[in-house]
């Protein structure tokens, strides 16, 4: 018997909230990556890590806010906590790999292709690992064609995100890019959800284990949401501003080379004013002792 799937149990509330969280994570990630390209080299890894964590947390938060609105009407759904946490780790790690590759290698075509593909597969893996954490008395099957389509959307979205992270620096362009990225990531999620069909297995109305969405999802979402808020505060008041650097939004200048000693001037310049010696007497050279050498004039 096939179960009845409802992906919008709370109407438009969950998809809109999920989209906004994806946009927030993308916007913070773009801004952090921009700062990493325009600041001292020692700050670069920290900004890239903060940007990757922001994007990964935004994607993961989007996914599970959307999952709160997902239900199978015939059976309750539980969620396995370790698997759910593992999906968050996957999201942050794979996005971090992509962001660091592009942050240090630049937005060349080859770099974007490699990093975008890797990150896209990772985002798709996060989605399906999260789905594997669902516990219900039913067998879930996936339409292969729709799954492949969702992975392709994830790769395109990840590539666009990485390109935007190192290519778009203005506030309004970054805001527009984050909105487009939010649409792409949320669209990938709902495309993946459209690939699911549920086949009931005997027991209905009985929990198959794990925590319900209301009991574990909200507490688990609290951490990433707080992180995104704190990341927003850091972006607004970053350490460079606190330290009083006035050129934080300009490309970092290369440090001047410190020479250990002054370079010799060649050819040497003769300074006439430094030579105050009297002219040699006309009668000949001055007498000298046997153990002295005559001076060379």
Task: Compute the distance between CA of residue 124 and CA of residue 144 in angstroms, rounded to an integer.
Answer: 13
Q: Based on the number of CB atoms within 10 Å of its own CB, is 245 exposed (0-12), middle (13-18) or buried (19 or more)?
A: middle
Of 137, 158, 153, nearest in space to 193 by CA: 153
pLDDT the model gives residue 186:
93
The more confidently predicted of residues 219 and 142 is: 142
Count of positions (residues) in the chain: 297
For residue 290, pLDDT over 60 is answered with no
Q: What is the pLDDT of residues 119-130, one digit of tens each?
A: 888 889 989 998
Q: How many CB atoms sit inside 10 A of residue 104's CB?
A: 12
Classify 28 as helix, strand or coil.
helix
Going by pLDDT thresholds of 50, 70 and 90, the confidence category of residue 31 is: confident
| Annotated domain spans of the chain | 5-242
pLDDT the model gives residue 289:
52
Q: What is the pLDDT of residues 163-191, one digit of tens each?
A: 887 787 777 787 888 888 888 889 999 99
pLDDT the model gives residue 203:
66
Of 97, 130, 138, nearest in space to 114 by CA: 97
Going by pLDDT thresholds of 50, 70 and 90, the confidence category of residue 30 is: confident
Q: What is the pLDDT of residues 212-258, one digit of tens each?
A: 666 676 777 777 778 777 777 776 765 554 343 444 444 444 444 54
Q: Please, what is the angle between helix 13-37 and helix 144-167, to 10°?
A: 40
Provide the 8-state DSSP code for 41. G
CA angle 104, 109, 113 (to 5 degrees): 85
CA distances from 185 to 47, 67, 101, 136 (A): 22, 14, 21, 26
Cβ–Cβ under 8 Å, residues 131 and 77: no
189: Cβ–Cβ under 8 A, 6 or more apart, which residues?
18, 62, 63, 66, 127
Classify 134 as helix, strand or coil.
strand
Task: Compute the distance between CA of residue 199 and CA of residue 210 in angstroms, rounded to an integer.
Answer: 19
Q: Which helix (H) or strand (E) holds 197?
A: strand 196-200
């Amino acid at each position: 018997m096939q179960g009845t799937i409802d992906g919008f149990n709370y109407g438009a509330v969950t998809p809109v909230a999920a989209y906004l969280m994806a946009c927030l994570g993308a916007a913070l990630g773009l801004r952090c990556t921009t700062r990493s390209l325009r600041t001292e080299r020692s700050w670069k890894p920290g900004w890239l890590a903060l940007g990757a964590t922001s994007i990964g947390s935004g994607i993961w938060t989007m996914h599970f806010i959307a999952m709160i609105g997902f239900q199978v009407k015939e059976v309750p759904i539980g969620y396995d906590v370790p698997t759910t946490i593992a999906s968050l780790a996957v999201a942050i790690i794979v996005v971090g790999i992509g962001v660091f590759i592009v942050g240090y290698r630049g937005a060349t075509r080859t770099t974007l292709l490699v990093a975008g593909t890797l990150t896209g597969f990772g985002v798709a893996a996060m989605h399906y690992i999260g789905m594997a954490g669902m516990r219900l008395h039913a067998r879930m099957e996936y339409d292969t064609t729709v799954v492949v389509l969702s992975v392709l959307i994830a790769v395109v979205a990840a590539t666009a995100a990485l390109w935007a992270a190192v290519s778009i620096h203005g506030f309004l362009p970054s805001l527009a890019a984050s909105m487009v990225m939010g649409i792409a990531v949320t669209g990938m999620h709902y495309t993946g959800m459209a690939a699911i069909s549920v086949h009931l297995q005997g027991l209905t109305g009985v929990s198959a284990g794990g925590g319900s969405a209301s009991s574990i999802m909200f507490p688990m979402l609290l951490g990433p949401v707080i992180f995104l808020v704190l990341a927003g505060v850091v972006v607004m008041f970053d350490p460079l501003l606190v330290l009083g650097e006035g050129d934080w939004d300009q490309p970092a200048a290369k440090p001047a080379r410190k020479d250990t000693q002054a370079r010799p001037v060649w050819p040497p310049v003769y300074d006439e004013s430094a030579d105050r010696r009297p002219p040699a007497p006309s009668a000949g050279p001055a007498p000298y002792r046997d153990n002295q050498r005559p001076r060379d004039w």
